[in-house]
Every structure is written in C-alpha cells, then in structure tokens.
Chain A
Amino acid sequence: MTPILELNHINYSYHTPDGETKALSNISFSLSQGEFAAVVGPSGCGKSTLLSLIDGLMQPESGTMTLNGEPLTENSSRIGYMLQHDHLFEWRTVYRNVLLGSEINGHITPEIRLRADELLRQYGLERFRNSRPSELSGGMRQRAALIRTLILNPDLLLLDEPFSALDYQTRLTVSDDIGQIIRRSGKTALLVTHDLSEAVSLADRVIVLTKRPASVAKIIPVAFSAEYDTPLRRRSAPEFKNYFNEIWKELNRDEQIN
C-alpha cells in the first residue's frame, strides 16, 4: 500500500537578523491510510514547523514531500489543519464559523449546508447552531473547530496541540472525544504534542524528535488490546506505562548527548 503522506529528508531553517536557526534536519517518515501518528519532542524543537511545512504554509529548504504519491508543493486542499486555539470568530454564529472554509473555497452549496447541519447534529452542537462561540464550553468550541476542518473533507488531518489550551480535566475528555471522532471518520491524522501521555493515548505510532535541530530519534509503534480501544481507557491499560517510559527515555537520551 502506498503511504498517504511521505516525507523525505526535509530540512528547514529560520532566518533572523541575528543569524540562522536550523529547525529541522533530515526528517523522513511516512503515514499510511487511516493511521493516527503523534509527533513528540522537546518544546521549541520545531514540531509545529513540521506541520506548517506539510500544509504548505512554508516551503522546506530541501527534501521532498508527497501526498497520495503526488509531490506536495503548495497549500493543498486535501489537508486539514487544526491549530492550538479554536479561533472561532466571535462575530459569526457557530454555524457560520463552521462554514468559513467552504466560504473561502468559493461556494457554499446546499450539500455543504446539509453536511454542516449533519456534522453539528452528529457532534451534539445543533442546539448551538445560531449561538455565538462565547456561549460554548471549551470542549464544544474544539468540536466546532474540528467540524470546520472536517467539512472540507481532507484526506489528512494535521493537529497542532489542539488540546493544550484546555484545562486538564476538559483536555482528557476532549482528546478522548476528538480522538474517537477522528478514528471513526477513518481519517489519517498527524498530531503534534508535547504531552507524552496524550501521544500514547491517541496514536498508532509515536514519532520522537530530538532537540533542535529536530531529527527523527525513533518511531515507536503503539498497540493496545481491544478492550482498551479508546484514548481514555488506554490510559489505564498496563502497557500504557511501558510506552510512556520508552518515549521518555528516548527524549532524555537526547538530553544526555547534547
């Protein structure tokens, strides 16, 4: 099976008047259809940069990326991107926030409207269709943001620490909730996080990055037995601790080398 996303030897540097900062060094990995992968690494190692490169917001200095076997050069409409904050616009209703992407991409067809209503119902937001975002709880806001991304029907979902702005309790339930929604939709997802337990609870594979300039330290496959099939249940599985420790060790080895 051809991978849906493939990164080959990606390099990227930031340039400021003070000098050059190498952010990514020789990053290579691939994702297959329906896979949920998590990228973890020390803070400031360039995790978010990686997502911006994949989404085409920035161009890598060298290396190639392919999506469904085709070279990924510019902002591809087959990729959906969820940012750290929901950024729902207060001057729009929830419904019109959800339709923002379709509005930008040219046309709001009756099918899109139908799909928006369908998704809002599916994710328990239909009551808030005409509410302002400020009337929603943190979890509901994040769901609305997810619908805004999903409505464009992307092949690949990029998640840039989408739960980090939530308080701990909400965070657990929302990541459980969103994780299951993404699993059920069968989308391929790439999650960036600095929270190791979040990575283990959600992902099929965890890609561990080194300190800046980031390179792939190790790729750790994560598998749980069927009884621990949701993000929240995974946390109480016996294997959970082992995966956590393995990733922890990998991150700290990086510390010792430098």
Chain B
Amino acid sequence: MNKSTDGQALFLKKMRQHRLAVRTARITVLILFLLLWELCANAGVIDSFIFSSPSRIALCFWEMVTDRSIFLHIGVTLYETIASFLLVTFSSILIAVLLWCSRIVSEILEPYLVVLNSLPKSALAPLLIVWLGATPVTIIVAGMSVAVFGSIMNLYTSFITVDREKIKLIYTLHGSRRHALFKVVLPSCIPVIISSMKVNIGLCLVGVVIGEFLAARSGLGYLIIYSSQVFKMDWLIMSIVLLCIMAMGLYAVIGAVEKLYQKRF
C-alpha cells in the first residue's frame, strides 16, 4: 500500500472514474425526469391540474415560504417525528434491557410482542384519537406505535445473541449480571442500536404522517390530506417532495452519527 505503483494508480483512477460516472448519471436522471415532466405539462401531454409540474410546485413552495406557512407545517412534522423517534429509541433500549434481565418475563411477553409488531399500526390511529384527542401527543404516539415493537424485538434478539463466552469472561473476573450488561452487552450492541435507529426514523415518519392524516390541523400529513380534498395538487406533490427531503435529511443525520462512532473505534 505504501508504494504507489502504476497498477495502483490506475486502479485508483478507475475507481474515481466509476464513482464520478455514477454520480453524474444520478443527477442526470433527476434532471431529465424534471425536464420531461415540465415539458409534458407545458405541451399539454399531461393535465397539469392533476399532475402539476416542477415549476408550479416550485412557485407554490415559494409562495408558502413568503407567507411563512410552510415553516409551520415542516416544523410540526419534524418535531413530531423527532420526538417519537427519541421516545422509541430510549423506550426500546430500556424495554429490551428489562427483557434481557428477566428471561421469564421475556418468555411470557414474546407472543404479545410478535402480535403487536405484525399488527397494521394504522388500525390503531383512530383508537388513539378517541383516547388521546386530536393533539400532537396522539400523533407522536402513532409515530411510536409503528416503530417501537419491531425495535424492541430487534434489540432484544441482538442482546441475547451476544457471545456467551464474553459474558462468562465477566463472571470469571468476578463481575455480576449488571457488569455483563454494561461492559459487554450494551457496548457490543451499539452497531445494532444505530442500525435500528436508521430503520426507526423512517418508520416514525410513516406513523407521524398517518397520524396527521387523521388528527391534525398542521403538518405535512395534514397538508397532503387537505390539498387532496380541495384538489390543490401543487400543494400535495410539494408536500410529498418535502417529506422525501426530510426523510433523506433525518437518515443522513443518523448516518453521520454512525460514521462518528466508527471513527472513534
């Protein structure tokens, strides 16, 4: 690796070219898609009242930026998603730890977790509205309900599959079960915790949007439902695009956390 031979230089050059080609192609696909959409809408190939067009969406976005209403909707959805994500992360770690601590409790609860995890969570949303009212709390709980059960099961499985010999090591060093948890189980499961966070952030966003469909006066989910009812397709598609960007951004934040962790170790 130290000696940079011609072969190595060629290899690196090829790798760079490959990466550049992929990146260029990605951007080209997007631009072509937008161009085609815009042209078809202008030429009347597609009905821009139903399919909207990139320029109409951009214009609509700009209008909402100038009257500041968009910030409220983005802010509400973002707040609800982050709140439910943080609650899911902490509560699922906590519950997985409790299950790990007591084998009998985990054996008893296992079928309930499986059922709750496979239940379509959107079915719960109307129930939550009746119980908790049409408030942000309902929406946060709806967001949590989508992610929390799977997250608990995922973490618990990784906790109990930690190398038994490593736990035995703790006992040979005269440690207790608490030491096994804090010195072996949790540190060795950090990569799993981060990867489950990556899944959770997406699921929480799904849950929050479902919640907003049913019980909100603001937020991107509300905007989508409202605009479909009044047939404002510009609003609707803009909201979807904003959700895409938000999902990407949130995922990238966790990706950055993961990179930071990997760099440390």
Chain A interface residues (CB < 8 Å from chain B): 55, 57, 75-77, 80-81, 83-85, 87, 89-91, 100-101, 103-105, 132, 148, 152
Contact = CB atoms under 8 A, between A and B. Distances in A.
Interface residues of B, number: 18
Contacts of A91: 187-188, 190, 265
Nearest to A152: B173
Nearest to B261: A91
B168 A57 contact: yes
Contacts of A85: 165
Contact of A55 (B163, B170, B172, B187): B172
B171 A57 contact: yes
Given A89-B184, A132-B265, A57 B172 contact: yes
B200 to A, nearest CB: 22
B166 interface: yes
A104 B265 contact: no
Interface in B177-194: 179, 183-184, 187-188, 190
B175 interface: yes
Contact of A89 (B171, B175, B187): B187
Contacts of A76: 174
A87 B165 contact: yes
Contact of B165 (A80, A83, A101): A83
Nearest to A81: B172
Contacts of A100: 173, 183
B169 interface: yes
A5 B221 CA distance: 72
B36 to A, nearest CB: 50
Given A100-B183, A132-B265, A87 B171 contact: no
A87 B169 contact: yes
Main secondary structure of the interface of B (DSSP, over half): helix
Contacts of A105: 173-174
Interface of B: 163, 165-166, 168-175, 179, 183-184, 187-188, 190, 265
Contacts of B165: 83-85, 87
Contact of B174 (A75, A87, A89): A75
A185 B166 CA distance: 26
Q: Which among A81, A87, A101, A152 has the greatest number of chain B C-beta atoms within 10 A?
A: A87
Q: Which of B171, B174, B184, B187 has the most CB of A within 10 A?
A: B174
A104 B166 contact: no
A55 B190 CA distance: 30
B175 A104 contact: yes
Given A75-B174, A83-B169, A104-B175, 15 more contacts: A55-B172, A57-B171, A77-B174, A80-B172, A81-B173, A83-B165, A87-B163, A87-B165, A89-B166, A91-B188, A91-B190, A100-B173, A100-B183, A104-B179, A152-B174
A183 B174 CA distance: 24
B125 to A, nearest CB: 40
A183 B184 CA distance: 31
11 contacts: A55-B172, A80-B172, A81-B172, A84-B165, A87-B166, A89-B184, A100-B173, A101-B173, A104-B183, A105-B173, A105-B174
B173 A83 contact: no
Contacts of A83: 165, 168-169, 172
B170 A104 contact: yes
A87 to B, nearest CB: 5
A76 B172 CA distance: 9
A199 B117 CA distance: 54
Contacts of B174: 75-77, 101, 104-105, 152
A238 B173 CA distance: 40
A90 B265 contact: yes
Interface centre among B170, B172, B175 (most CB of A within 10 A): B172
